[in-house]
A and B are shown apart, each in its own frame.
Chain A
Amino acid sequence: MSGQLLIIEDNAANFYMMRFLLEHGGFTVMGAETGKKGIDAALRCRPRAILLDIQLPEMDGYAVAEELQRHPELARIPIIAVTSYAMVGDRERILAAGATGYIEKPINPDTFVAEIIQYLSNDRECDKEKQL
C-alpha cells in the first residue's frame, strides 16, 4: 500500500510517532498543525487520505471535515479521525461531519498501520463499486 497521507495534528510528538509508523508502512506523509493549513495542503497536494485530529486550535476537527466536504475536488478523499475524544457521541459526531474512519487515541502501534490500510481498501472497494 502506498500513497501520500496528510496528518492534521497539532501535537508534534504524536505527529512524529504516527509519521514514523506510516512511513515504515510505505506511505508518504505530510503534515499540518492547524485545520486551515491542513485544508490548504489538501487542496494543494490531493492526498490519498487525511488523518484528522479533532482537538485542534482555531478550527476544530469537525469544522475541518465539513470544510473539506465543501470542496468537490476533496470530497472523495477519505478522512480518518484519530482522536483522544472518547466521550459518548464523539464517534458518531465526527462520522456525521464526513469522516470515513475512526481510530481512538492512544493508538495501538502494533495495529495502527494495518487499520489505516483496512480503511483505504474499504474505500477503494467503494470506489470500484461506484465506478461499476
Chain B
Amino acid sequence: MMTGIKVSGRGWTEWRFLRWFPALLIWLVLGSLPAHAQSRIVTVGVYENAPKVFMDASGEPAGIFIDIIKYIAKQEGWRLQYVTGTWSQGLDRLEKGEIDLMPDVAYTAERDRIFAFHRTQVLSSWFQVYARQGSGIKSIMDLAGKRIVVLERSVQEEAFSQMTNEFGLNSKLIPLPDYKDSFKYVADGKADAAITNRFYGLMHARKFGLEDTAIIFAPSNLFFAAPAQGRQPLLNAIDTHLSRLTRDSDSIYYQSLNRWTAEKVPYILPAWVMMAGLIVGGGLLLSLAVSILLKRQVTARTRALSEQNEKMIVMNRTLSEEERKYRELLEHANSIILHWTRDGQITFMNEFGQRFFGYSEADIVGRHVVGTIVPETERDGRDLRPLMDRICADPEAFEQNVNENIRCNGERVWIAWTNKVYFDDQGGITGILSIGSDITERKRVEEELRLLNRELEQRVFRRTAALAEALEKAQAADQVKSAFLATMSHELRTPLNSIIGFTGILLQGLPGPLNEEQQKQMRMVQNSSRHLLALINDVLDISKIEAGQLSLSITTFDLRVSIQKMVESVSPQIIQKGIELKLDIADDVHSATSDQRRIEQIILNLLNNAVKFTESGHVGLLCRRDTGHYVLSVSDTGIGIRAEEIPGLFQPFHQIDTGLARKHEGTGLGLSICHKLIVMLGGTIEVKSQWGTGSTFTIRFPIQTGEMS
C-alpha cells in the first residue's frame, strides 16, 4: 500500500496529512525547477494507474504520462503542480476546471463534450480481463454470472456492461474507484475477474497470482484531457511535442515506455505495429466471435420464431375455423340469439333473429330492447318496461320467461326466452344472453284449445243440467211407477181376495154342502185364482227388480229352518205325485245373514219346479257350507233340459216347451226372478241337466251378506 497519497481515505492522520501535503509538493517542485519569472503553472491530476501514471515509492509522481508531461513542461517553461486523488476525483476536478490536465484519458464522443483533447494520442491500449490462474475463464461466454471488478466511471465499465448485456451474460459488475484494489479483490476471492487496461495488467497481474485471459476489448486511444474551456494553448503545445517525440526513437517517449513497461518494446515503432495489429486483430476476432455468436443466436431465434410462427398459423387457422363454425351456428341457429347489456342495449343479434324481427344488424345493435323487439305493454296490458330490470335482479326466476314481442312491422309474437346473466369477478353484470323461440303458433293453438275447452265445459254443464233434469224426471217417473205398482198390487189383490176367500168358503161347505160337480168346478176356480195370484206376484217382483225398486231386507235367520219350511210347503204335492224326497243338509248349516224372504222364495221356486217336472223318481235337496258360502242344490229325475235351452233358461217369460205342449203351469218368470234375486244377494245360480234324466240347480250365496238392514 502506497501511503500518504490516499486522499479518499478516512481517518484522522490521513486528513491531517492532507493539509500539509500539497504545500510540501509545491515546495518540492519549486525547488527542483529553474525559476522562471513569468512561468505558467500547470496543475496535473495524479492517480494510481501504473505504469502510465502513479506515485512512486518516494511519493513522487511517476509513469509514462508524467515523464512526457515533465519533458514538455521543461521545454515550454511550465511549472507543474500535481493534485493527487482517485481517477474519479481527478475527472471531477478536471470538469470543474480545478486542474489543467488529467493524464491517460481515453477519447470518447461523450467525453469530448465535457473535456478538451489534443490530437496526437499518447498511447493506445485496450482492456483485458484478468482472472485467477486455472479459473477456466477463457472466452467472454465464461463470464456469465461471474462477479467482475471494473473501474468506476471508466470507459471499460461502460463498454463491458454493454457487451455483457448484448451477450445476455448477466455478470455482476463490481465498480471500484482504483485499480490497486481490483486485483486484490480477485486474489481474495471477492470477485472472479477484474478488468484493467493492458498496461496495468502487464505490470501487476502476476504479483496477485492472476493471469491474463483471451478476453480483450474496447481498444482506446489515450490522451491528456483538459477542461473544455481555456486550455487550448496547453493542448497545442502537447501536440507539437508529441508528434516530434514519437518520431524520434531516442526521445524521452520511448525511453519512458522502455522504462515502465515490462515487455521489451522494440525500437522504431514495431510496438505500434504490433499494438495496432493486436488491436485490429483483437477487434476483428472479437467482432468475429460476436458476429458468430450473434449469428448463431439469430439463427436459433429465427428457427424458434418460425416454428412458433408456424404453430401460430396452424392455431390461428384452427381458431378461425372454430370461430367460423361457432359463428355459423350462432348466426343460422333456428333460434333468436340476443346479447344485451345491463341497461337493455342490444349488442348482438344473430341473423335468424334479425330476419325474424325484420331488422338489419345496423338497425338493431345499440338500440334498447324495449321499443324495438319488446313492446312497452303486452296486448293484455302487462307492462313490459320493468322486465329487463327484473331479469337482472332475479336471473334464476327469469331463466325461462315467456313474453310478447313485436316485429319491425308491428306484428305481435310470443317468444319463449332462456336468459343467462353473466357476472364479472366483482358480481357486476357484464351482459345477458337471451335465446328465444317463437311460440306464437303454440300460443294460438293453446288459446284455441282453451276456448274449445271452455265451450266444452259449458256444453258439459248444459248437458249435465239437462241430464239432472231428466234424472229428476226419471226419478219422478220411477216414483210414479212405484206408486203404480203398489196400486196395481192392491187393486189386483183386492178382487182376488174375494174370489179366493169365497171359493174357500164354498169348498169348506160353510154356506151349505156342494155336490160333486160343484166341488170339482170350485176347485178349478180355486186353482185358477191361485195361479193368477202367483202370476201377479211374479209380475210385480220382476217389475220391481227391473225398476230397481226391489229392496232387500237383510236379517240373520236359521237357513235350516227356512229349508225345512219350504220343503214342508211342497210335501203335499210330493206325496200326491208319489215321488221320493231326499234331504241332505249338513250339520253346520244354520245361521245365515241374507234376505230370508227372498232366499225362501228361491228355494221354494226351485223345489216347485223340480216337483212340477218330475213324474217319477225323486227330488233331492243338498245343502252345505263352502268357504264363506252356502251351496244349495235341488236335483230331480224329471224330464231334464235340452242343451240348447239352457242359455235362455234364466231369461224372463221363458218356459220349457213353450207353446204347443204347455202342459205345466207357470209364469215363465220363476227362474228369471231366482237368477236376479241371487245376484242381488251376492250369489250365483247354475244348472246341470241332461235331457230325459233330470236337472240340478245349484245356488251359492254368502253366509254373511254385505249389507245389513
Contact = CB atoms under 8 A, between A and B. Distances in A.
A86 interface: yes
Contact of B510 (A20, A55, A85, A89): A20
B504 A110 contact: yes
B501 A106 contact: yes
Nearest to A111: B504
A86 B540 CA distance: 10
B497 A14 contact: yes
Given A13-B498, A106-B533, A107-B497, A86 B489 contact: yes
Task: Count chain B CB atoms within 10 A of each CB in A11, A13, A87, A108 and give the residue with the most.
Answer: A87
B184 interface: no
Size bin of chain B's contact surface: 20 to 34
A89 B482 CA distance: 13
A106 B490 contact: no
Contacts of B511: 20
Contact of A86 (B493, B502, B510): B493
B122 to A, nearest CB: 156
B489 A109 contact: no
Contacts of A85: 486, 489-490
B608 interface: no
Contacts of B302: none
Contacts of B529: 106
Given A88-B553, A106-B493, A20 B500 contact: no
Given A24-B510, A105-B494, A106-B496, A17 B502 contact: yes
A18 interface: yes
A103 B550 CA distance: 21
Task: Count chain A CB atoms within 10 A of each CB in B486, B501, B503, B540 and give the residue with the most.
Answer: B501
B486 A14 contact: no
A75 interface: no
B490 A107 contact: no
Contacts of A109: 500-505, 508
B551 interface: yes
Contacts of B490: 55, 84-85
Contacts of B499: 106
Interface string A62-85: 000000000000000000000011
Given A55-B490, A106-B533, A84 B497 contact: yes
Interface string A99-122: 000000111111010000000000
Contacts of B489: 84-87
A18 B494 CA distance: 13
B564 to A, nearest CB: 19
A45 interface: no
B500 A107 contact: yes
A18 B502 CA distance: 9
B497 to A, nearest CB: 4
Interface string B473-501: 00000000000011001101111111111
11 contacts: A13-B498, A13-B502, A21-B510, A84-B492, A84-B494, A86-B489, A88-B550, A88-B551, A106-B533, A107-B500, A109-B508
